[in-house]
Chains A and B, each alone.
Chain A
Amino acid sequence: MVGALDDLRVIDASGPIGHYAGRLLADLGADVIKVEPPQGDPARAYPPFLPDVDAPEHGLQFLLLNANKRGVTIDVADDQGRDLFLRLLATSDVLLESWRPQEAAALRLTHDDVTAANESIIHASVTGWGLTGPRAQWAYADIVGVAMSGVMTLAGLPEGPPEQLPDLQGYHCASIDAAAGVMAAILHRDASGEGQLVEVSMQEALSMAQETAMQGADILGEDRVRGGSALGTFRMPGLGLYECADGYVFLMAAGLAGSGFPGFLELMDESGEAGDLTEEPYATFINESMNRGLLAAMAQDPDAMQELTKTLNHIDEIVQAFVRAHPKQYIYERSQEHRVLAGMVSTAQDISASPQLAARDWWNEIDDRGRGKTLRYPGPPWQLEGTPATLRRPAPLLGEHNEELFVELGLAPGEIGALARAGVV
């Protein structure tokens, strides 16, 4: 079995905003060639680092996102380097890059220049703001996209600052959209022979991640704010974050799906930890009244409200005591076995040790000979039965495939040596 893109060559000249796009295409089988400046991609210097390995080969973020790619160094700002780059483009199906418009113009590598070198190429541009509009030339960083897209205003505690998304999600969302755009363009090119420009703005790629905020502003004229709670004046037992013996779980034992709070009560009762909740008046209250609509209606009556709050607090205290007495994995797995909506707040260690991911044989180990290490990589986003995504090679050492690629392009050994001495490659 072979990958869905195993006949395609992708030139990945992108910076960190596009790395994950190149990685996705590589995982699907494409021959992705990472083109870096002679001093290396900036992400090579991003901590944390692989122990006992020196710069520029130790940046773990770079290794993660550039596995499965071959690597060459070309100074595209140099005339000879540019010529070499254009020769490489002529042998390729896709170009992925992240130059702002003024940078592409200065390099003489605009879409027109690219298509002059290869008429049918698919040219994917991934930048902070896209190629048009009043801010097309603006500088970007991941956090800038997250903030300007409306996503960051939703994260954080009311008393603290808005919070960024973890692990460069602005870049990665832009990359995921770029990879999707390239896939669509490949299907069109397969059918027609015609290439085209794929354009991604990080700000736009993230906008969908505002969840309901955009529609709330459009329909109701109201802006969602961070730390907002839809629960009103009382805490609904079994709904929200609970502290465990060793961390947190998130429970939605509230009737949206699964067995709801009655299922959770059954779980507590099995180990004799349900207190008096299986007795009256709680048993009937839990089975008949404890959903948000009914409670909201009851809360309209101030006298009933006081009694209601007392009852809910009592139930919640028992839930809290139960959860606090157990590790998060226990609460998560036992709840799910009772069909209660529950998730544990997994740390990196928990995910690394996940029995589910292990059982599905999701992780890949790869022998990174150039760095003298065996590395453990996460698997792909999908298991494609007919055209599997595969991890075939470690991230390239800086310039690792210069000779191999340049010989393929027809350069003589003497020419390659001269380019290297001139600092072009």
Chain B
Amino acid sequence: MVEQSSNGAPRPLDGLKVLDLTWFGAGPIGTRALANLGADVVRVETEKRPDGLRIGGPRPVGSTSLNLSGYYNNFNSEKRSITIDLTTERGHELGIDLVKWADVFASNMTNRAVQQIGMTWEQVSAANPGIIGIYQPMQGLTGPHSEYIGFGAILSTVCGVNSMTGFEGNEPRGSGTNYPDYVVNPIHLAIGVMAAVRHKRRTGEGQLIDMSQLESSVAALAGPIFALDNGGGDFRRAGNRVSFAAPHGAYQVEGDDRWLVLGCLTEEHWRSFTDVSGHAEWAEDERFATLDARKQHEDALDALVGEWAAGQDGRQAMERLQAADVPAGLVQSASEVLADEHMADRGYFAYLDHAEAGRRAYDGPGFRLSKTPHDLRGPAPLLGEHTFEICTDLLELSEDEIADLVAEQVLF
């Protein structure tokens, strides 16, 4: 069984040095994974133009501190933060010194912003020929749309999330989140970096990774596009249905806006469902005798399942169905997820002490390693929390030099 090794155990990216110029979601969550695998991740930030997530929330009511955003803090655990104004000449020199220090350079800014701060691949690789550079602008480093600007909400529409989510005929509102920002793009980023780290460890060579968030997102949402391109027909939104299973959907149960989800993937699941629901006669109904028949009569099937569900306590129904090995679950709210007994038993959420925010929940690792843990050993940094130590230890500046740079507003 998987027990994470105890705190302090070696981790697979120990010793890897990452200069992190990403911001918002898609980059920082990826570099967070690297940090939680042992890498020393140094985020370069500014007070002039802080990460938008530091400004946003959720945050304590009435607070404005850039250190109190749960949105930012959750995505940046265990990183160090240095505040440098890279647009100044001296600031840029310090940035280049950090490039020389680093094994990996990461950015998800627009190509225009990368040029403005003088951190193009040509500049970065000239300063450090063995470095790995991952650039993750919305649409990649080349092509007619390479200068396009966007956040996850823009990308979600362009990459197909909105047109593929929900029910035919409804406005294409999408997933209600900036979906590709949170797992698809950041963890693809971490995979790409680790592939390049392996090559660097074997050969000493760095490389450029041109990572278009659009390409990364479409790669993970490609089913309908691959089908369209290869004779499988056009995609039609089908709400909570899928092509290969029925019944499959969300059914309202007793209580205030409570929903049971059900995915009968096999004939066994279907027969067990009819047993548990007390409707063994449905299994005998020729309209529902095979998957093809159930797909053909899916409106009637969903109506019957919906009528049954309406009289059920959701949690009890889920447990009875699962006891019969039927894939069933509840649409959980965030507070239910935080209190989820299974996740708690597995110790998924990490509770970390942060100098300003106090003890707060952080998402745990998306994967676990039995011998070299992927874990969260520290909270998110305060803005510029590590400026002094990084200047001293990595950049080897004297206290006087640091004081001058602060006075010149190169450092904050």
Contact = CB atoms under 8 A, between A and B. Distances in A.
Interface of A: 4-5, 20, 24, 28, 42-43, 45-51, 60-61, 63-64, 128-135, 138-157, 160-169, 172-173, 176-181, 183-188, 190-191, 194, 196-201, 203-228, 241, 248-250, 252, 256-258, 332, 336, 339, 341-352, 354-357, 359-360, 362, 373, 375-387
B225 A219 contact: no
Given A165-B165, A248-B172, A336-B149, A357 B157 contact: no
A397 to B, nearest CB: 16
Interface in B1-15: 1-2, 12-13
A350 B225 CA distance: 9
A226 B176 contact: yes
Contacts of A344: 157-158
Given A213-B334, A252-B153, A345 B230 contact: no
Contacts of A135: 322, 342
- Size band of the interface chain B makes with A: 35 or more
Contacts of B206: 386
Given A219-B58, A223-B335, A359-B144, A140 B215 contact: no
A164 B176 CA distance: 11
B376 interface: no
Contacts of A343: 150, 153-158
A242 to B, nearest CB: 10
A381 B219 contact: yes
B331 to A, nearest CB: 5
A215 B361 contact: yes
B369 A256 contact: no
Contacts of A140: 327
A173 B183 contact: yes
Q: Which 10 A-B pairs have the closest CB atoms?
A: A141-B263, A215-B70, A386-B207, A48-B232, A181-B367, A166-B164, A177-B366, A183-B194, A343-B154, A4-B195
A47 B292 CA distance: 11
Contacts of A128: 327
A50 B360 CA distance: 50
A360 B259 CA distance: 43
Nearest to A58: B232
21 contacts: A28-B195, A47-B232, A141-B263, A147-B330, A149-B337, A156-B176, A157-B166, A160-B167, A161-B239, A165-B165, A178-B367, A186-B194, A190-B201, A196-B372, A199-B2, A212-B56, A214-B363, A223-B335, A248-B157, A343-B157, A354-B214
A211 B153 contact: no
Contacts of A43: 244
A5 B259 contact: no
Interface stretch (B86-94, B184-192, B381-389, B399-407): B184-192
A184 B37 contact: yes
Given A167-B221, A184-B13, A187-B201, A382 B173 contact: no
A161 B205 contact: no
B162 to A, nearest CB: 5
Given A220-B58, A220-B60, 5 more contacts: A51-B232, A134-B345, A154-B177, A163-B167, A219-B59
Contact of B360 (A219, A345, A379): A219
A341 B157 CA distance: 12
B164 A167 contact: yes
A336 B184 contact: no
Given A4-B198, A344-B158, A336 B148 contact: yes
A188 B150 contact: no
A213 B194 CA distance: 29
A138 B342 CA distance: 11
Nearest to B220: A172
B233 A48 contact: yes
Contacts of B202: 190
Contact of A176 (B157, B191, B235, B341): B191
Contact of A190 (B198, B233, B330, B348): B198
B329 interface: yes
Interface in B51-106: 52, 56-61, 70-71, 73-74
A360 B212 contact: yes
A131 B1 contact: yes
Name which of B13, B178, B369 has the most chain A CB atoms within 10 A of its CB. Answer: B369
A180 B191 contact: yes
A150 B334 contact: yes
Contacts of A219: 57-60, 70, 357, 360
Contact of B165 (A61, A166, A190): A166
B369 A184 contact: yes
Contact of A209 (B140, B177, B222): B177
Contacts of A345: 157, 162-163, 172
Contacts of A196: 369-372
Contacts of A386: 196, 199, 205-208
Contacts of B341: 134
A143 B194 contact: no
B231 A257 contact: no
Contact of B211 (A225, A376, A382): A382
Nearest to A359: B143
Interface string B277-316: 0000000000000000000000000000000000000000
B320 to A, nearest CB: 12
Interface stretch (B40-48, B245-253, B390-398): B245-253
A100 to B, nearest CB: 10
B186 to A, nearest CB: 8
A379 to B, nearest CB: 6
A345 B159 CA distance: 8
